[in-house]
Each structure stands twice: as structure tokens, then as C-alpha cells.
Amino acid sequence: MAAAATNPQGSSERAPWRQAVDPYARPRTWRTALDLATAVVPYFALLVAMHFLYELSALLTLALAIPTAGFLLRTFVLFHDCTHGSLMATKRANRWMGTFLGLLVYTPFESWRHSHQLHHATAGDLDRRGTGDVTTLTVAEYEARTGGARLAYRLFRNPVVMFGLGPILSVVILPRLVPKDARPRLRRSIIRTNVAVVAIVAVSCLLLGWEQYLLIQWPAAWLAASVGIFLFYVQHQFEDAYWESNENWAYADAAIRGSSYLKLPRVLHFFSANIGFHHVHHLSARIPNYNLRRAHDDIDLFRDVPTLTIADGIRATRLKLWDEEHGRLVTFAQARAAGRAA
């Protein structure tokens, strides 16, 4: 790939790939309205349906949590698009819509936008890990840790913990915390969102009762968050993923080689708002979700990107450490075997 194509997305020097992706990075008002109408509206409608089903059958209410989770996941991806300024036509409109959608997904807009933009700017950079990504150690770093630290890392990377307890951490706990070094704007965003979330939960519990509120809201929220974590995980955690030291790291290479195309059935692409075309999204985050597939199909640059199926993604959860010597993610067993062979 030409050296100019490795410029960061924010570089003043125009990278050649921009000419190819720019036509797709234009939100359309009617299409955005359709997105909202097919995410937020059915999400609220299903919550109301679950309320009326509650008196009839708790099991039916729980069954309805599955499609409700799908529309909540779709809503979160629209929130995510707002943080990139790709859903609405103006910066102000994205901020206002993102703040509103953030309340539906219990996430402060400004602080999440900050950490997620850092993720985009550093994905695949071994020297700038730690913000907005899934914690990943190299084999050497893991081996240098104490027994307790190794156990903590093993627990964190365990699928039961990551996809079972992870939703509680990522939805309930972490978004409520105000970092000591947070900028005033980010601090205010977190505090205001926390106050709004507490008010929404309190009013809901007063109107419905806490038992009904928990049964209606949290199974769907947990399921949506669990699937969301899985999607985020497998889109950067696969065997031939891209990790380089900062001096060798390149933005376009990290996007195209370090972000997967998660090949899903059409219905799952709908509920995940096309976030499976993650390689396109990472190359140009300003492309709205509804243009990602078209860009993938039209642009030759995306012909040989890493492609995963759902089964491939499930198998990828076994991979835990980055093997710098061989340039691939490996399991704990493979890391041990390589150590014995050495």
C-alpha cells in the first residue's frame, strides 16, 4: 500500500483512499429518519407490549425481550454513529440526537465519544493500548506478570465473564464513573447522564413497580449489551489481526487489516446496523451505517479484507494473547507450547 495511504484519518495531507470513500460519507435526512423509525420506535413499542404482557405471563414477557434487545442494539449503533458525526447532517444535530439515544442505552454521549474516537485513532497500536479497546496482552507481557495478575487477565478474557458479567460492567457501572482526569465537558456529560438515568429508573419503578421494571428492561438490556460486546470483540480479535509498534503502525493498514468483515445473515446486519462491515467503518467513520455495505461492495480496496462468519467469531474467543514473534493472536495453550519449544 502506498505510504500516503497510511496517514491518520485526521491528517492534513489527503490520503488516496479518501477519494474512494468520500462519496459514501454523506448522511441523507430521509434515510436517517428511517433508521430512527426502525430502531427507537419499535424498541419503545415492544417495551409497551412487554408491560401489557407482564400480567398475563412472565415467560412471554421474557420471550419478547429477544426482539426488544435486537432493536436496542440497533439503537446503540445509531448512538455510536452520532459520536462519529455520521448519522445526522450537522455537528449540533449529532450531539443532540446522540445525547438522547445515550439515555436509552445508559451511556454519556460526550465521554463515550471521546474514548471511542481514541479507539479509532489507536486500534492495532501496541504502544497506545488501553482506551476504548479490549485489553490485550502480548505473550511476553503476560509471562512477566505475577500469578495473581495472570489469573485476573484469564478471568477478564473468559467468555463467561466477558459476555456474561461484561454487560453489567459496561452498561451499569463504568458509564457512571467520573475519571479523576476527565475534562470539565466530559465530567458534566457523565454527571448529567447519571442524574437523568437515575430519574428515569426512579420514575419507571414508581409507575411500574421495581419487579416489573427489572423484568421488562434488564433482560433486553443485558442481551443487547452481551451481543454488542461480542460484535466489538470479534471485529478486532481474530488470529491474523493487526498489531504493530507505534513506529510501524499505519492508520489505513490498521483499519483494513485489523478490522474484520463479520459476514452475517441480512436480518442480523439489520439489527446490528451494518456494524459488521467494520473495516469500512474504521477506514472512514464518517460513513453512515446504511452506506457501509454499498461501500464494501463498490470499492476494490475492500476485496481482500479479513472475513469472519459467526462460527469464526465464536472460535476467536479462544484467542487471548498477541504473539509478537509470529504476528498473530494465540491461545494460552499455544503460547505455552511456543515457550516450551523455545
Name every residue whose Cβ is closer than 8 Å to that of residue 260 and which is 6 or more positions away in sequence: 234, 235, 236, 238, 278, 279, 305, 306, 307, 308
- Its pTM stands at 0.92
The separation between CA 79 and the C-alpha centre of its own chain, rounded to angstroms, equals 11
HSE-CB at 39 with a 13 A cutoff on CA atoms is 24
CA distance 151 to 255: 31
CA distance 307 to 287: 20
N-terminal to C-terminal alpha carbon distance within the chain: 34
Question: Do 273 and 265 meet the contact criterion of CB atoms below 8 Å apart?
Answer: no
Number of domains forming the structure of the chain: 1
Residue written as grid cell 456529560: 189
Three cell numbers written together for 63: 420471550
Q: What is the pLDDT along the chain (342 residues), one digit of tens a residue?
A: 333 334 444 443 457 888 999 999 999 999 999 999 999 999 999 999 999 999 899 999 999 999 999 999 999 999 999 999 999 999 999 999 999 999 999 999 999 999 999 999 999 999 998 787 889 999 999 999 999 999 999 999 999 999 999 999 999 999 999 998 889 999 999 999 999 999 999 999 999 999 999 999 999 999 999 999 999 999 999 999 999 999 999 999 999 999 999 999 999 999 999 999 999 999 999 999 999 999 999 999 999 999 999 999 999 999 999 999 999 999 999 998 876 665
HSE-CB at 342 with a 13 A cutoff on CA atoms is 8
Please give the residue range of the domain that contains residue 110.
3-341
